[in-house]
Amino acid sequence: MFNVHEYIERRLPVQCVAHRGYSGMYPENTLLAFREAIKIGADVIEFDVRVSGDGVPVVIHDPSVDRTTNGHGLV
């Protein structure tokens, strides 16, 4: 389990993790969000990969495209 006090006491390095890229400013899990996260100095980029119904890996968090696109349905 993450313990912030251990990081402080042991002076462990802190990393900036860009969750789904720079998703607070750009569309999540996009190349744009990843590139911008790198520009602002992110140490790590976290992203999600799912396999589509036809077996193709795609970068998307949700099981459907409803929230992040103007389409509807499962990935």
3-state secondary structure of 22: coil
Q: Which of 19, 22, 34, 42 is catalytic?
A: 19
45: left (phi over 0), alpha (psi -120 to 50) or beta: beta
Q: Which of 26, 36, 59, 61 is catalytic?
A: 61
Residue 19 and residue 57: Cα distance in Å, rounded? 19
19 is catalytic: yes
Q: What are the catalytic residues?
A: 19, 61
